[in-house]
Copies of this chain bind each other. A is one copy, B any other.
Amino acid sequence: MTAVREIRLKSRPTGRPTLDNFELAAVELADPRPGEVQVKNLWMTVDPYMRGRMNDAKSYAAPFQLGQAMEGGAVGEVVASNDPALKPGDLVQSMFGWREGFNAPAGAVQKLDPRGLPVQAFLGAAGMPGLTAYAGLLRVAGLKDGDVVFASGAAGAVGSMVCQIAKARGHRVIGSAGGPEKVAFLKEIGVDHAIDYKAEPDLARAVLAGAPDGIDVYFDNVGGPHLEAALTAARMFGRFAICGMISIYNAAEPQPGPRNLALMIGKNLRLQGYIVSHHWDLMPDFIRDLSGWVAEGKVTWRETVFEGIEKAPEAFLGLFEGENLGKMLVKLA
């Protein structure tokens, strides 16, 4: 028997979650049964989409269950195996995050070849957030030569990849993030025009200052006033990849949409919502391109790391306070 700890959903939040919505619990893991492996998690991720799973509402991902461990991406190491497919020491990815360890059927985890990258990159730049950026720009927004790109949430796990992928492909990039530290980071990663939205009374004007002829592609991580500014700043035939609306995830009441949505008619704009899970087929292309960009020094990333499973709720709540620079991660071992 192995003692591990996990984070469970204690109560469902109304509006912004608090630490009271989570509880830390200890569990004993038996030896893996035939066909199972036992994994010690090394890293777990916290992501904005998990907020939706805390509600008891039908959505694209099933709700977390009260009193049960939460779920999410994790990378770990096999410590015991009762299946020939995996052996102790193998690195694996899984959706069994929010826990220090677990038993699971060998088929429920994916063996990981780190290709020289730090394993936690597969929770960020080389994982779901990176693919989200890649698929959103290239397929959803149909990025094409000469497009001027605007990204909100540009210092985050997805946004910073959007900016760097667009730069690596030769585009002019306008990025928005909150606060001087993030703006400095945007400049470090090559963003041409970095906006501190917290210091900016007129977002549309700020975008147009960086893109006097307007933008062609908007990558939306936040919704709200940023989406409104992008509609104003968009050029004819602009394409918006609508990836997230973190500005409204915690709203207890429905929030009004952009007041200038009708601009999409005259400008022939396309707004396309998407979930990365419908674009897994792009993963091999993405990893191939990413390896090249990393080797050329064109793509890098930052991490904000909390240590210990007990800090996971705090790390998650930090997402909604704009605390993280780059990928928010929890180091478990």
Contacts and interface: CB of A to CB of B under 8 A. Distances in A.
B273 A265 contact: yes
B245 A262 contact: yes
Contact of A265 (B258, B270, B274): B274
| Copies, count | 2
A271 interface: yes
Interface stretch (A87-95, A116-124, A249-257): A249-257
Contact of A275 (B248, B268, B273): B268
Interface in A187-228: 223
A16 interface: no
B278 A274 contact: no
B248 A265 contact: no
A235 to B, nearest CB: 13
Nearest to A58: B266
A242 B264 contact: yes
A189 B242 CA distance: 37
A273 B269 CA distance: 5
A175 to B, nearest CB: 20
A89 B206 CA distance: 57
A243 interface: yes
B264 A268 contact: no
Interface of A: 52, 59-60, 223, 242-245, 248, 254-275, 278
